[in-house]
Amino acid sequence: MTTAHALLSDVFGFDAFRPGQEEIVRAVAAGQNTLAIMPTGGGKSLCFQLPSLIREGVTVVISPLIALMRDQVRGLREAGVAAGALTSGNTEEETQAVFAAIDAGKLKLLYMAPERLASGGTVNLLRRAGVGLIAVDEAHCVSQWGHDFRPDYLRIGELRRTLDVPLAAFTATADAETREEIVTRLFDGQAPETFLRGFDRPNIHLAFAPKDSPRRQILGFADARRGQAGIVYCGTRAKTESLAAALAADGHSACAYHGGMEPDARRAVEERFATEDGLIVVATVAFGMGVDKPDIRWVAHADLPKSIEAYYQEIGRAGRDGAPAETLTLYGPEDIRLRRSQIDESLAPPERRTADHARLNALLGLAEALTCRRQTLLAYFGETAEPCGHCDLCESPPARFDGTEAVRKALSAMLRTGENFGTGHLVDILTGNETDKVRQRGHDQLPTFGVGREFDRKGWQAVFRQMMGRDLVRPDPERHGALRMMQVARPILRGEEGIELRRDTIAAAKSRPAVRALVSDEDAPLLSALKAKRRALAEAARVPAYVIFTDRTLIEMAETRPETMDQMARITGVGATKLERYGAAFLEVITGAAADLPHPARRRLAGREAGALFDRLAEVQRDLARGTDGTGKFLSCTNATLRHIAERRPGSVSELERLPGMGPAKAERFGAAFLDVLGGA
């Protein structure tokens, strides 16, 4: 796909596609109905942005995320692509500018929130715009029982039929059930070209830890990563505010974010996170969906997420630039009780509640895993993998023990007390703690009283937590969280099956050292200077810093130290438009002197083979300006003409003569020599 590769380099500044992208781009550009499941950070947006530049007409992108749409539009415009968005966050001037671009036929990508599909005038607007492709981001939002359901996504299938154009749907979090629902609702059950591009994010380090003074654990984790951008997810609004205050008191740049804040306050946090280096946002899940910031270095969960899909999506906001990133998820019995009760008390039908319990079980299985976490996570999504070697369990394999007898004692204590009590009371019975509550109920006379003195209180709490994590027991919301036994536990109780447990990891859950520095000590000062230049340019343009260049691009500049525009053009992420806008400014930072800029026509060829051809053609032209004997009439070609020759590579003198700016006299003077240069290339 010569055209696609040229656009990839010239517009987006990449030398090659990421794994899986090229086949998806080819299918979408060819007008095939497409469903692509790609990992967060795997380059989904490129798979509809690039085809939009190949195809005729406008590509309408339906996304539920205003912040993401605005970020992508700003990024596309910086790359020289005509893009606009129609969202509730638009100013009147922004909306009118989009309408004007549509009427002028200049727009290539139009971003739109799904709620706009409910407006009667939307279909006419899209027809007027000449829409040739519908791209659906976060396609899992069409799933009515999914964790991000958006009712207006159900209108997209009808829009596809009405406009009679191909549709490309993208998501990172669709299990088999959700994929079937996407096909049914967006493609009328007609199977699209489907690409399942793997869920592995090998640059992300996975880690879980049982809660033990969770505030202290989060503060320690953040302290080891001081100065790096991160997100801390919390289960309640109040906790976001208290934890953000604790981080700020500890010297971090941190702020809270949740759905109860005023819109202006939320926007201010979003703006800070986009533009400020090293900011920590402590948030509910109201924050983050659609965060396009590529250099988030870590994500921590102060509370257990709702499901394994939610967990995967939330940790996927780290390390989108491909550089190392880290995660830490804290969990405890209270988290499990809360998540179980949320499912049991929901209005969903019984079969959906059963499926939600299964999803939570998968996350708890990941939390209580005995072997490689990455293997466990990928297995849930139907993938096999070798042990990764760099999750917390691969780095420090947990101590295990035969927990069969301990689990049987715990189950016996539950049954002998009528399954009417929670963990605290059961631990008192097992450890022989004669509390008033134990004596009043006569539980100090039970055969199980004091039979579990081999563990202390924390040890038994870990046993019960793992039993809940394995879904052997569940808290019953109708009996104030009293534990009840599940069918899967009966074979263990009867001695028909055994079970292996982990020694509790609380003592071992120390803060892992932060990932290595992104650059060497030698390159660190230059990287800081490049970031300062980026920040100044971003503030002047009022755009997020990463819209100028990502951290990964600046790191490559610091390590390779380009000295010319050609060398700068070969840096990943530096496309033609950004080279023209920012190349000289960053070269000056690197070299310490004002950049010696070539002619604009030559700059358009920077980093390409055509650039070297241009230079050789210019040299030949200088030598023959007055003919082979140096006495002829002076003739020369403009830089624009040399660019046309270098790009089009004519194969004969007659073809050369027809190019703009040539003509018979110049073709006769330079033709043979120019063709020799082109032939040698």
Q: What is the pLDDT of residue 507?
A: 39
Distance of CA 506 to the CA centre of its chain: 30
For the chain, the domain total comes to 5
Q: Are residues 307 and 369 in the same domain?
A: yes
Asked whether residue 311 falls in the same domain as residue 442, the answer is no
Based on the domain organization, do 412 and 386 belong to the same domain?
Answer: no
Find residue 300's DSSP bridge partners. 232, 328
Residue 243 lies in a domain: yes
Q: Which of 533, 564, 597 is the last residue of a domain?
A: 597
86 with 155, same domain: the answer is yes
d(CA 107, CA 87): 16
Q: In this structure, is residue 516 part of a structural domain?
A: no
Give the residue ranges of the chain where pLDDT is below 50: 1, 505-511, 515
Same domain, 30 and 163: yes
Confirm whether 604 is domain-assigned.
Answer: no
Q: Which two tokens stand for residue 404?
A: 């069969």
- Residues 250, 334, single domain; the answer is yes
Instruction: State the DSSP string of 273-341.
Output: HHHSTT-EEEE-TTS-TT---TT--EEEESS--SSHHHHHHHHTTS-TTSS-EEEEEEE-HHHHHHHHH
User: What are 564-607's pLDDT values in tens digits?
Assistant: 999 999 898 898 889 989 999 999 999 988 877 888 888 888 88
Domain end, chosen from 395, 419, 437, is at: 395
Contacts of 16 (CB under 8 A, 6+ apart): 8
Domain CATH for 490: 1.10.10.10
pLDDT in tens, 386-427: 999 989 999 999 889 999 999 999 999 999 999 999 889 999
Query: Are residues 166 and 293 located together in one domain of the fold?
Result: no
- Residues 390, 430 share a domain: no
- Structural element, H or E, at residue 230: strand 230-233
Distance CA 322, CA 312 (A): 16
Can you tell me which residue has the tokens 């509790």? 504
Q: From CA 545, how far away is CA 134, in angstroms rounded?
A: 29
Q: Is 233 helix (H, G, I), strand (E, B) or coil?
A: strand
Does 603 map to a domain? no
pLDDT at residue 131 in the model: 95
Q: What are phi and psi of 580, to 5 degrees?
A: -65, -40
Q: Check whether residue 439 and residue 552 sit in a common domain.
A: no
pLDDT at 506: 39
What is the rounded CA–CA span in Å between residue 240 and residue 477?
A: 26
Assess if residue 473 is contained within a domain: no
Q: Which two tokens stand for residue 117?
A: 């599909």
Q: Is the pTM for the entire model greater than 0.85?
A: no
118 plus 185 within the same structural domain: yes
Q: Which residues are paired to 538 by β-bridges? A: none
Domain that holds residue 647: 609-680
CATH number of the domain at 372, please: 3.40.50.300
Write down which residue in 597, 629, 648 finishes a domain: 597
CA angle 665, 670, 671 (to 5 degrees): 90
List 84's β-bridge partners, or say none.
110
**Which pLDDT score is estimated for 345?**
84
**420 φ, ψ to 5°?**
-110, 5
Query: What pLDDT, on the 0 to 100 scale, is given for residue 156?
Result: 93
593 shares its domain with 615: no
d(CA 571, CA 558): 10
**Inter-residue contact 169 to 186 (CB < 8 Å):** yes
Cα dihedral value 134, 137, 143, 148, nearest 10: -150
C-alpha triplet 527, 44, 196: angle, nearest 5°: 125
CATH number of the CATH domain containing 671:
1.10.150.80
CA nearest to 326, candidates 302, 299, 305, 301: 299
CB 185 within 8 A of CB 157: yes
Round to whole Å and give the CA distance between 247 and 254.
6
The answer to whether the Cα torsion of 626, 632, 634, 637 is positive or negative is: negative
672 in the same domain as 588: no
Residue 491 lies in a domain: yes
Residue 513 resides in a domain? no
Q: Are 575 and 12 within 8 A, CB to CB?
A: yes
Distance CA 51, CA 32 (A): 11
Looking only at the bridges linking them, the beta strands covering 254-257 and 325-331 are unpaired
Burial class, 106, CB count within 10 angstroms (exposed 0-12 / middle 13-18 / buried 19+): exposed
Q: Phi, psi (5° rounding) for residue 135?
A: -115, 130
Q: Do residues 470 and 411 lie in contact, with contact meaning Cβ atoms separated by under 8 Å? A: no
- Residue 145 pLDDT: 64
CA dist., res. 124 & res. 135, Å (int): 18
Domain membership of residue 474 (yes or no) is: no
